[in-house]
Amino acid sequence: MPNVGKSLLFKTLTNQEINVANYPFATIDPNVGVVAVPDERLDKLTKLSKSKKTIPAVVEFYDIAGLVRGAYKGEGLGNQFLSHIRDVAAIVEVVRCFESAEIIHVEEKVNPIRDLETINAELIFKDLDGVEKRLAKLEGEARSGDKQKAKDFEILKKIREELNKGNLLFNLLKRGSTQIETRINSDKNQSISEFDPRVSELAKEMNLLAAKPQIYLLNGAPEDVSEELKKRIKSLGADYLIINLAEADSESINKLIQKAYEILDLISFLTTGEDETRAWTIRRGAKAPEAAGEIHTDFENKFIRAETINWKKLIEAGSWTAAKQKGWLRLEGKDYVVQDGDVLEIRHG
């Protein structure tokens, strides 16, 4: 919502000089900042290899203006602001927990759970608008005999049903809980199942806001955050960080950056040498050829093997050559699942 500390957070994250003001809608256009992911491994490997450059992994943050009740239908330019975050992979929702007579609240009184519910309702209403339009189009295509369109039509009706219940989709898509599984087994028409990958695919294709994973940044001191609020966030299947943004230090901000990286289900593998030491971003579960493709497209297509070692073992060895002499380097093939912290050297044709 407005006046909760979003722009202050963004300024702290990026050290960019942006307009931080004590009035609603101070941020009309989204601010964009590319933030390095803190990684002690890079510093140690840079020192080991005497690298000329160090290149960290990054997370891109978008700061949009505060949303108010009715944003999805254009209140306070909210419809425009919501469209700015269609393409993001996850949402950091800043919730005001601190009291202050000097900083106004658009709802007049600080109530974190109410604010959280208001924002999530706006995301859901915005999605419902898009889902209704897509259903209208799919209905005609399904009648033409296209089986895939007919299947998508049925899935989208289930998604609409969940949104109408006020449910965020990311929790349902990720957990595959016993409760949902039981409901599906007892009544096949009742709920979304993550067992059909098309559910997730369709949610991603449509960039549904309620399907994006969330981190709640609770702006205030620990004593400002109630147990009820913590339980509500956990019930959504989301995570939270408590940070007093007015007094935020680099350590607390780094926790947010790292948490954002984790919630995107990303890991880093590393390369190191005299020219540069670098962290490369891949999705968790990616195999060696895919990792090689991050370095260069040709490396994926012409992948032969990956020579790899955990970064700690490389530091312990003292050098790549020493690690090889000790027999600590492993040769891995196309089916190797790259682990966070692997140092790779790619062999390609």
Q: What is the mean pLDDT of residues 77-97?
A: 79
Pair (240, 93) in one structural domain:
yes
pLDDT band for 72, please (50, 70, 90 cuts). low
Pair (234, 249) in one structural domain:
yes
State percent of the chain over pLDDT 70: 86
pLDDT of residue 17: 45
Task: Give the C-alpha separation, 217 to 292, whole Å.
Answer: 35
Q: What is the mean pLDDT of residues 166-189?
A: 56
Q: Are 268 and 279 in contact (CB under 8 A)?
A: yes
- Which range has the worst mean pLDDT, 173-177, 203-207, 303-307? 173-177
The answer as to whether 49 is a domain residue is: no
Pair (337, 201) in one structural domain:
no
Neighbouring CB atoms inside 10 A of 321's CB total: 10
The answer as to whether 47 is a domain residue is: no
Which residues have a Cβ under 8 Å from the Cβ of 228 and sit 6 or more positions away? 113
Pair (99, 218) in one structural domain:
yes
Pair (248, 108) in one structural domain:
yes
- Which range has the worst mean pLDDT, 125-139, 196-210, 222-236, 277-291? 196-210
> Domain boundary at 175, 208, 241, which?
208
pLDDT of residue 146: 83
More confident residue, 321 or 60: 321
- Which range has the worst mean pLDDT, 91-105, 161-175, 197-211? 161-175
Task: Give the C-alpha separation, 79 to 41, whole Å.
Answer: 42
> Domain boundary at 208, 240, 275, which?
208
Q: What is the CATH number of the domain that holds 34?
A: 3.40.50.300
The answer as to whether 275 is a domain residue is: no
Pair (246, 314) in one structural domain:
no
Pair (94, 21) in one structural domain:
yes
Task: Take residue 83 and report the two structure tokens written for it.
Answer: 């469209």
Within its chain, how far is the Cα of 38 from the centroid?
A: 16
Nearest to 346 by CA among 283, 265, 268, 269: 269
Pair (99, 231) in one structural domain:
yes
Give the side-chain half-sphere CA count within 13 A for 223.
Answer: 1
Q: Are strands 303-310 and 342-348 parallel, antiparallel or unpaired?
A: antiparallel
pLDDT of residue 250: 86
The answer as to whether 301 is a domain residue is: yes
Residue 307's domain comprises 285-348
pLDDT band for 14, please (50, 70, 90 cuts). confident
Is the pLDDT assigned to residue 249 strictly greater than 50? yes
Q: What is the mean pLDDT of residues 99-106?
A: 81
Which residues have a Cβ under 8 Å from the Cβ of 242 and sit 6 or more positions away? 97, 218, 220, 221, 222, 225
The answer as to whether 149 is a domain residue is: yes
pLDDT band for 195, please (50, 70, 90 cuts). low
pLDDT in tens, 41-64: 999 999 999 999 999 998 888 887
- Which range has the worst mean pLDDT, 73-82, 211-220, 268-277? 73-82
Pair (200, 82) in one structural domain:
no
Total domains in the chain come to 3
Query: For residue 278, what is the enclosing H or E element?
Result: strand 276-283
Pair (230, 98) in one structural domain:
yes
The answer as to whether 271 is a domain residue is: no
Neighbouring CB atoms inside 10 A of 96's CB total: 23
For tokens 């369109």, the residue is: 149
Is the pLDDT assigned to residue 77 strictly greater than 90? no
Task: Take residue 143 and report the two structure tokens written for it.
Answer: 């009648």
Q: What is the CATH number of the domain that holds 290?
A: 3.10.20.30
pLDDT of residue 273: 95
Pair (137, 90) in one structural domain:
no
Pair (155, 31) in one structural domain:
no
Nearest to 158 by CA among 207, 212, 116, 203: 203
- Which range has the worst mean pLDDT, 141-155, 228-242, 306-320, 330-344? 141-155
Q: Is 346 helix (H, G, I), strand (E, B) or coil?
A: strand
- Which range has the worst mean pLDDT, 228-232, 236-240, 317-321? 236-240
Q: Are 134 and 220 in contact (CB under 8 A)?
A: no
Bridge partners, 58 (sequence order): 36
> Domain boundary at 167, 190, 208, which?
208
